Amino acid sequence: MELLIPMNENEYGAYVKDKIKRYALTLEENVFEIIDEPPFVRAEEAIKGYLPNGFNTKNHEFYNVTENEKVIGNVWIKVVKENRSAFLYEIYLREEFRSKGIGKKVMTELESLLAVRKIAFFRLHVFGNNEHAINLYNNLGFQVAGINMYKEIDK
């Protein structure tokens, strides 16, 4: 039984629609700037910027995370063979499937898929308030490459 199954273009349409909603919520919680543009608009523009050709954007790959032949989440990665690197844009599991070891299995399977393709570096970004994901990545051997920090200034 496969854990990761490549997404088709129809599935991608539903995925990206949901991704924009979820990303807007993340931006709302994690962007520390005064911006007039609503989070949904910023999320939509960001996703369109990352994926100018949608499902067919070069080097981007999309997977369904499955359990018992049921889709329980998604993965979005970018693989650049020339640089021998991959970037994890998202690993998403529906709420009821979190904290059950599935995220670790997904990341391990992704790493195996990348190793077969001779990818040397697997990179990602995680927001500072996502302690569960930070712990997962630390336990999997990811290292910090940089840290963004902020401070709210009282007026």
129: CATH: 3.40.630.30
Is 35 contained in some domain? yes
Domain encompassing residue 65: 4-139
pTM of the entire structure? Answer: 0.91
Mean pLDDT of the chain: 93
Residue given tokens 């100018």 in the structure block:
52
> What's the confidence (pLDDT) of residue 89?
97
Number of separate domains in the chain: 1
Q: Nearest Cα to 111, choosing from 85, 148, 143?
A: 85
For 77-116, how does the pLDDT look when each residue is reduced to its tens digit (9 = 90+)?
Answer: 999 999 999 999 999 999 999 999 999 999 999 999 999 9
Is 15 contained in some domain? yes
State the Cα torsion 77-75-134-152 to the nearest 10°: 80
Is 14 contained in some domain? yes
Is 80 contained in some domain? yes
List 78's β-bridge partners, or say none. 60, 87
How large is the average pLDDT for residues 6-21? 96
The pair of three-digit structure tokens given for residue 92, joined into one six-digit string: 């998403």
> What's the confidence (pLDDT) of residue 1?
57
Is 12 contained in some domain? yes
Is 31 contained in some domain? yes
> What's the confidence (pLDDT) of residue 6?
97
CA dihedral over 16, 115, 142, 104, signed as positive or negative: positive
The phi and psi torsions of 75 (rounded to 5 degrees) equal: -135, 140
Is 149 contained in some domain? no
For 24-48, how does the pLDDT look when each residue is reduced to its tens digit (9 = 90+)?
Answer: 998 888 777 677 788 899 999 999 9
Q: Nearest Cα to 139, choosing from 151, 126, 154?
A: 126
